[in-house]
Amino acid sequence: MPSCINCNAEVTTAYCPACGQPNPPKKISIRNVWSDFVSRTYGFDGMFPRTITDLTIRPGTAAKAYIEGNRVRYYGPIGYFFLMITVYLLLASILGVDMIDYTLKSNPFGVDPAQGKNAINNDINNWVIENFRLISFFIALFNIFYAWLFFRKSGYNIVETSAIVFYSNGHVIWFSILFLLIYVFTGNVVNGVFSFWLAIGFQFYSYVNFYTHQHWFKVLIKSIFGFILSFFLLILCFRYSSSHNCYANQR
């Protein structure tokens, strides 16, 4: 009796009952390589495009479905969050974007990129870019804490609250990808203030769709305060880290 080349289990059907490996294994061809890519990228039954569509139209509904136990319909919130960050950074790398220069150009206070690179510690700038995933993750953690604190009467615990936060923070990266493409192909930079308030706007939209037990105006006020407090808490942490690094370098 033939055995599975993946797990060595006995196989009598077209697929291994233990691990799902095709039996017999197919030879490599353009068709099955493409099929494998699509199935792994988009998931079962179009999981990835469905996640994008529903997070755009009804993010709160998608988060609630995941919380209620639907683990097949959508990408998990943490996985989606880190996937979007990876896509953004990978795209910037492929397009050859100098992220330090791009960040300085989008500075809402009009810092000249040429002067900025001399005035700002390059080590700190590089640390921010290299640790973009970590910084984004901490922003999400701060958002989770304030969302749970401000909406604790909703009945969602802090882990359940993380679903809507990771989904909304991950999905808003599509705007960052769009702005990056605009910069690459037109040379125009979207002002950082606009990006900041756009992120708040989408988070508000997500929260209104998720916290349906409260009036939208209350949700608006709480979401704005939560976002701003998270942002300033991150700045305080960053300034502390920067001053500590500068002191260490001087020594």
Residues 22 and 72 in one domain: no
What's the domain range around 23?
1-42
Residues 38 and 104 in one domain: no
Residues 127 and 211 in one domain: yes
pLDDT for residue 240: 60
How far is residue 143's CA from residue 211's CA, in Å, rounded to a whole number? Answer: 15
Listed in sequence order, the residues at least 6 apart from 130 whose beta carbon sits closer than 8 Å to its beta carbon are none
The pTM of the full predicted model, rounded to 2 decimals, is: 0.75
pLDDT tens, position by position, 146-185: 899 999 888 899 999 999 999 999 999 999 999 999 999 9
Query: Looking at residue 33, which CATH number applies to its domain?
Result: 2.20.28
Residues 173 and 119 in one domain: yes
Element (H, E) at 46: none
Regions of the chain with pLDDT less than 50: 44, 109-111, 113, 116-121, 246-250
